[in-house]
Structure formats: structure tokens, C-alpha cells
Amino acid sequence: MVGLDTNVLVRYLTGDEPSQFAKAADLIERRIHSGEPGFISIVAVVEMVWVLQRAYRISNQGIAAAIERLLQAEAIVVESEQEVLTAMIALKEGSGSFADALIGALGDKAGCSHTFTFDRDAAHLPAFRLL
């Protein structure tokens, strides 16, 4: 297994830097495979979403589609895949931010009855309770 850093994912998804895009595409589309998959950590996923939102101003729908594409790739292993999927759905449906939904989903996975927050927007997600 080989790890994929946020900048490789961003270059692959945006194609904004042609030489780096070519290298990222070659790695993701040709060099990684089921025998040696690519690994995306939960930190890289969250950082990728933040960069796509802030720096590239990509819509939530566009980001959700990018995450879905990564989750469906056979040769890519995403850490906490089910929780990333849950957060992606929340983002896609507009029911919360990706990071908040992921925090809630990871708390659920860990056995938390709920997650306390001061964030009124996050408190609308089922896993959260306003403190």
C-alpha cells in the first residue's frame, strides 16, 4: 500500500497544474492497483475538502462527487470509509459541513451517545448536542 497526500489528491481532482496532474493521474490511474492500493488518511480527506472549498471555491455538490469518486475507486483505501461516506452524504444534502458530519460519525463509531458542541450549525446534525 502507498499513501496519497492531500496535494496529490487536489492536483488529481482539479487538474490545475498540468505537470503535477499528469503525475498524479499516472499514479492513481495506472500505478496503484488492488495488489498495491493507495491509502487516503482521514486527515488527508478533511484537508482535501477544506482546500477544495476555500482555495478552489468548489461547490458542496462538486466536492461530494469528488469524494464519491475516491470511495468508488477499487484501488483506493479510505480510512474510516463508512464515516467519510456519511459525512459526504451530509455535505451533498446540505445538512451540515463535511468536517462536522465526520466528527459526529467518528464519535458514533467510537460509541459516543452524542458529541457536545457550541456550534449551532453542527448541533443540527443528529450526532450533536448543543452545550
- The string of DSSP codes covering 3-24 is E--HHHHHHHHH--SHHHHHHH
Number of folded domains that form the chain: 1
Q: Tell me if 103 is assigned to some domain.
A: no
Residues whose CB falls within 8 Å of the CB of residue 23, separated by 6 or more in sequence, listed in order: 11
Q: Looking at the domain assignment, is residue 18 inside a domain? A: yes
Please check whether residue 26 lies inside any domain of the structure: yes
Report yes or no on 58 lying in a domain.
yes
Establish if 104 belongs to a structural domain: no
Which domain, by its residues, includes 66? 2-79
pTM tops 0.75, yes or no: yes
In a domain, 27, yes or no: yes
Grid coordinates of 5: 497526500
- The tens digit of pLDDT for each residue in 69-88 reads 999 998 999 999 999 999 99
- In-domain check, residue 6: yes
Contact 79, 102 (CB under 8 A): no
Strand partners, 45: none
**pLDDT tens readout for residues 16-55:** 999 999 999 999 999 999 899 999 999 999 999 999 999 9
User: Residue 90 domain-assigned?
Assistant: no
